[in-house]
Amino acid sequence: MSTRRRTRAGQAIVFLIMVVVILAFVVMWNFDIHKILHVKSVTQNAGDAAALMAARWQGISLNLMGELNMMHALALVAGDAQTAEAVTNIQARLCYVGPMVAFMASQQAAKNNGVYVHGGFTDRVRAHADRVRYDYPFITGPDGEPLFPEPYPGAWDEYADMLDTVADNGIAAAPDNTRLYTDATGGHPLLDTTFYTAIAGQTWCWFYHNYRNYNVPPQDPPLTLLEAYENYPPTWWPELPMPPHIQYINSEVYSLGMTRFVTTLGDVAGHIEEAGLADPGASPFTNAVEETATWYGYAGHLWTAWDAIDVAGDTHFPVVGPVRPQYDYQGADAVARIEAGIERLTPGEGGSEVRNDIVWTAAAKPFGYLPAETRPDAYGIVLPAYRDVRLFPVGASTAPSGGAYNLPWRVHIEDHLPEYMNNGPGALEPACWYCRQLDNDPASWENAAFRQTGAAWLAVPENAATCLSGPGGPGGPPGGGTIIAH
């Protein structure tokens, strides 16, 4: 073989090797794409199924609560005080048992759709069960009284047992609208995940729309946070809000949104008749209208008009037409969070392994109406009315900013934020993404030049105008929107 022929043969081999390597990467890339799409589809189906199942059990529990209210009324008519007391005790337990059944059923729905147990979710539920069992009964307020009084004797042990029972089978779908009794109320930028994403993405329009004139005397035009904030020290932020002192009768997970009130049977009977559940001409309640008892109704601060889904408001949800009056209420809903990890075949930089995390959250709620075509909560007292469940946008749900089971977010607000408030940015954890948005780096919050860049951009009228209309530009899309609107 001549030298020229050998050279050509060697070049062909090199070319063939390059083609094989390229084909191998194409095959791996194609496999990874299909795997990601498959897992994404599975997580979405599982999240939707889990949310729908939890909402269905919320509706069942609310209907049962309504039936028990009517049984209570009939027991009073019959003069059966023992049965009336038993009904009230059952209702107190139903406020926890119903949501816990919803929690357990949602896990089975997620697993039936191909999602595996999430170790982090399971560990968090177990840890909270311990907190309920060993901390809630003994935490006292400044006056020495229990901060979390039991709604019925032995409630915290029973509640902890139910949480442990669900965790024993593994948590696949986390209840992302959980409201812990120790959670602070909102209204503080540091407790709002969109504040951190606005910093990370330099979405200046977010600051145009949110928290203007916050923690400063009223001014016109109002100052944005970018202009109002003063670097640490001293601590410019107001203190983080305290947990609200509420009536502890609802489960923290998939709450039914109940309240207890005392009134006469005559008042309750009137509502039952107005709702069309009893004939006013032949009412069985006339014999005991003066009897006073404890009833279960809707907590007014939870069951309000559904402003978040109002097309006439400022949220601009992509819905067609207004919500029908008999469905226009927010209250009990269920938000399920699914997280799945994918190990890719395609190597990353330097041949490192690459992992993708897929997160899906879904929201559902029970819907229904009373025979008179009115909202289920129209009369304050709970009556059997729920007939269906539907998915709806997560952004219109009761899920807190960031979700209750976004584990890095929970660690940040529970552990890192108090340190930041007390000791400044030097106490932040470098491994925490949220902490990195607050530190002194050039593109972080505590850097005055970074904030000035945003303030200067908004000071240009043409730029600020994009926050109201048009395609947006460097400041981000108009209106800001929501990161969980699906």
With b for 16 or more beta-carbon neighbours within 10 A and e for fewer, the 83-97 pattern comes to: ebeebbeebbebbbb
Whole-number Cα distances in Å, 440 to 52, 413, 444: 44, 19, 6
Are 116 and 66 part of one and the same domain?
yes
Residue 248 lies in a domain: no
Query: Do 283 and 351 belong to one domain?
Result: yes
CA atoms 106, 175, 98, 273: torsion sign:
negative
Select from 398, 432, 460 the last residue of a domain. 398
In the prediction, which pLDDT does 470 show? 40
- Determine, yes or no, domain membership for 110: yes
Task: State which of 398, 420, 438 marks the end of a domain.
Answer: 398
Tell me if 98 sits within 8 A of 61, measured CB to CB.
Answer: yes
* Residue 9: per-residue pLDDT: 60
Do 155 and 202 fall into the same domain?
A: no
Q: How far apart are CA 40 and CA 107, in angstroms?
A: 18
Amino acid residing at 69: N
**Residue 285 · residue 266 · CB < 8 Å:** yes
Q: In sequence order, what are the residues at sequence separation of 6 or more whose Cβ sits closer than 8 angstroms to the Cβ of residue 191?
A: 184, 240, 241, 401, 413, 417
Residue 338 lies in a domain: yes
Q: What angle do CA 369, 298, 267 make, to 5 degrees?
A: 85
Q: Is residue 40 part of a domain?
A: no
User: In whole angstroms, what is the distance from residue 382 CA to residue 277 CA?
Assistant: 12
Q: Would you state the structure tokens that stand for residue 327, as one six-digit string?
A: 């469905």
Residues 6+ apart with CB under 8 A from 105: 53, 54, 56, 57
Q: CA 50 → CA 46, 65, 102, 113, 321, distances in Å?
A: 6, 22, 9, 9, 28
Alpha carbon distance 84, 62 (integer Å): 19
* Per-residue model confidence (pLDDT) at position 318: 59
Within 13 A of 17's CA, how many CA atoms are on the CB side?
A: 6
Residue 10 is predicted with a pLDDT of 62
Q: What is residue 317's predicted lDDT score, i.e. its pLDDT?
A: 61
Residue 87: inside a domain, yes or no? yes
User: Taking the alpha carbons of 205, 211, 213, 215 in that order, is the dihedral positive or negative?
Assistant: negative
pTM, 2 dp: 0.86
Domain identity same for 85 and 193: no
230, part of any domain: yes
Tell me: do 161 and 292 sit in the same domain: yes
Q: With CA atoms as reference, report the closest residue to 310 among 331, 290, 296, 324.
A: 324
Per-residue pLDDT of the chain (486 residues; tens, 9 = 90+): 565 555 666 667 777 777 777 776 666 666 666 666 777 888 999 999 999 999 999 999 999 999 999 999 989 888 898 999 999 999 999 999 999 999 999 999 999 999 999 999 999 999 999 999 999 999 887 888 888 999 999 999 999 999 999 999 999 999 999 999 998 877 899 999 999 999 999 999 999 999 999 999 999 989 999 999 999 888 899 999 988 777 899 999 999 999 999 998 888 888 888 887 777 666 666 666 678 899 999 998 889 888 777 666 555 565 666 777 778 888 899 999 999 877 666 666 655 566 678 899 999 999 999 886 788 999 999 999 999 999 998 988 999 878 899 999 999 999 999 999 999 999 999 999 999 999 989 999 999 999 999 999 999 999 999 997 443 334 443 333 344 556
SS3 352: coil
Give residue for tokens 């009084």. 149
207 and 152 in one domain?
no
- One domain for residues 63 and 124: yes
59 is in which domain, residue-wise?
Answer: 45-182+253-398
Which H or E run contains 469? none
Task: Tally the domains of the chain.
Answer: 2
Reduce the DSSP state of residue 377 to 3 states and report it: coil
Domain C-terminal end among 351, 366, 398: 398
